[in-house]
Chains A and B, each alone.
Chain A
Amino acid sequence: DIVMTQSPDSLAVSLGERATINCKSSQNLLYSSNNKNYLAWYQQKPGQPPTLLIYWASTRESGVPDRFSGSGSGTDFTLTISTLQAEDVAVYYCQQYYSTPYTFGQGTKLQIK
């Protein structure tokens, strides 16, 4: 199974500042035939289902603010929130959809400092 490890587990950032969450996979998520990384990022607020932010490691889902960006390839990935807003307080998960069993990172709790 592919293990997804996020860091840090929790993060406190001041409003307007940058937030960075890292995700490391135990196996390569880059599929050579199409040069795509099978990695997604989700945001989850309390009492709500997850919301897709980023797929293919760096493609922003429609309607997601452009302050959210994804980067990385292979086994190391990053979600960046360029200027933190109050509504960004949530838990963030990375997920690999390269192979079954599909697996998620343990989550990173983002709070306001």
Chain B
Amino acid sequence: EVQLVESGGGLVQPGGSLKLSCAASGFTFSASAMHWVRQASGKGLEWVGRIRTEANGYATVYAASVKGRFTISRDDSKNTAFLQMNSLKTEDTAVYYCTPDGSGWGYWGQGTLVTVSS
């Protein structure tokens, strides 16, 4: 059974940093690109970025809204993906989900809430 567990969310002040984790199991993590998607309360889904596999050089790509502030990484030995968030803004407040790449994204965790507020 595929499981994704996001963690690391919390309350942070504007300009602060936070690192989210996504622990995966039940599929071949090292062979899967991983996405991060966020959702502000009462709003729609926003793709944040993706990291590819080692075979694809761990290439990353980001949404314009987070480029230069967020960094996605992964540790295949621990089946975990990360989202390092720096220079956080109030508009980054959202539930953050990780999901493995596919033809349609069929597996999602429950998400972790990030609140950016003073």
B64 to chain A, nearest CB (A): 7
Which of A52, A61, A103, A106 is packed against the most chain B CB atoms within 10 Å? A52
A14 to chain B, nearest CB (A): 26
CB neighbours (8 Å) of B74 from chain A are: none
Once bound together, how far apart are the Cα atoms of A45 and B61, in whole Å? 29
Once bound together, how far apart are the Cα atoms of A105 and B35, in whole Å? 17
Among residues of B, the one whose C-beta sits closest to the C-beta of A41 is B104
Q: A56-B103, A101-B64 given as contacts; is B110 within 8 A of A49 (CB)?
A: yes
Return the CB mask of B90-110 against A: 1 if under 8 Å, else 0: 000000010000111110111
Count residues of A near B (Cβ-Cβ below 8 Å). Answer: 25
Return the CB mask of A50-87 against B: 1 if under 8 Å, else 0: 11101110010100000000000000000000000000
Across the interface, do B46 and A55 meet the contact criterion of CB distance under 8 Å?
A: no
Across the interface, do B103 and A55 meet the contact criterion of CB distance under 8 Å?
A: yes
Across the interface, do A103 and B104 meet the contact criterion of CB distance under 8 Å?
A: no
The answer to whether B63 has its CB under 8 Å from any CB of chain A is yes
Once bound together, how far apart are the Cα atoms of A40 and B63, in whole Å? 19
Report the tally of A-B residue pairs with Cβ distances under 8 A.
58
CB neighbours (8 Å) of B97 from chain A are: 49-50
Across the interface, do B104 and A100 meet the contact criterion of CB distance under 8 Å?
A: no
Size category of the B interface is: 10 to 19
Return the CB mask of A21-42 against B: 1 if under 8 Å, else 0: 0000000000000000000101
Once bound together, how far apart are the Cα atoms of A108 and B109, in whole Å? 22
Once bound together, how far apart are the Cα atoms of A97 and B45, in whole Å? 14
CB neighbours (8 Å) of B110 from chain A are: 48-49
Across the interface, do A104 and B108 meet the contact criterion of CB distance under 8 Å?
A: no
Once bound together, how far apart are the Cα atoms of A97 and B102, in whole Å? 9
Across the interface, do A104 and B45 meet the contact criterion of CB distance under 8 Å?
A: yes
Closest 8 CB pairs of A and B: A55-B104, A49-B108, A40-B104, A52-B106, A102-B47, A104-B45, A52-B104, A107-B44
Pairs A–B under 8 Å by Cβ, sample size 11 = A40-B104, A49-B109, A52-B104, A55-B103, A55-B104, A56-B104, A95-B45, A97-B103, A97-B105, A107-B44, A107-B45
